[in-house]
């Protein structure tokens, strides 16, 4: 079965510093990978996805993610964190069980400290 792991429950970073949120994956087919963000009391918003092509994927709000096949990782990054980036971040992978299912990680709480 397809799965993703987000090893850290919470990431604390000072405003202006680089932000990294880690994700590793396990798939039996091609890895289609996604990042979503959830602000307090809101639904999930799509940030970016990797399907094929360049290993560095650029997304919304200045975020990017790097696909690394040898390390089976898809870490989310932002060069300079903002207080408004404080949210819950979910990594997900296409579940080849069918019908566009996604398997989500448990989520990472990001806290950006002013």
Partner 1 sequence: DVKVTQSSRYLVKRTGEKVFLECVQDMDHENMFWYRQDPGLGLRLIYFSYDVKMKEKGDIPEGYSVSREKKERFSLILESASTNQTSMYLCASSADGTSQETQYFGPGTRLLVL
* Interface residue list for partner 1 (CB under 8 A): 9, 32, 34, 36, 41-46, 49, 51, 90, 94, 99-102, 104-107
The neighbour count for residue 82, using CB atoms within 10 Å, is: 14
Of the pair 8, 16, the CB lying nearest partner 1 is at 8
Angle at 63 between CA 62 and CA 66, to 5 degrees: 140
Residue 83: CB minimum distance to partner 1, A:
22
Nearer to partner 1, 78 or 94 (CB): 94
Smaller CB distance to partner 1: residue 97 or 114? 97
**Pairwise CA distance, residues 62 & 103, whole Å:** 24
**Cα three-residue angle 53-55-60, rounded to 5 degrees:** 95
Give me the least distance between CB of 114 and partner 1, in Å please: 25
């Amino acid at each position: 079965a397809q799965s993703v792991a987000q090893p850290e429950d919470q990431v604390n970073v000072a405003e202006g510093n680089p932000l990294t949120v880690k994700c590793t994956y396990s798939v039996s087919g091609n890895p289609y990978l996604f990042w979503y963000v959830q602000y307090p009391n809101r639904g999930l918003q799509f940030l970016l996805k990797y399907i094929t092509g360049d290993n560095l994927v650029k997304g919304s709000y200045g975020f990017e993610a790097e696909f690394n096949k040898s390390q089976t990782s898809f870490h989310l990054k932002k060069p300079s964190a903002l207080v408004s980036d404080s949210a819950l971040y979910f990594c997900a992978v296409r579940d080849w069980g069918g019908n566009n299912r996604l398997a989500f990680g448990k989520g990472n709480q990001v806290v950006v400290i002013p």
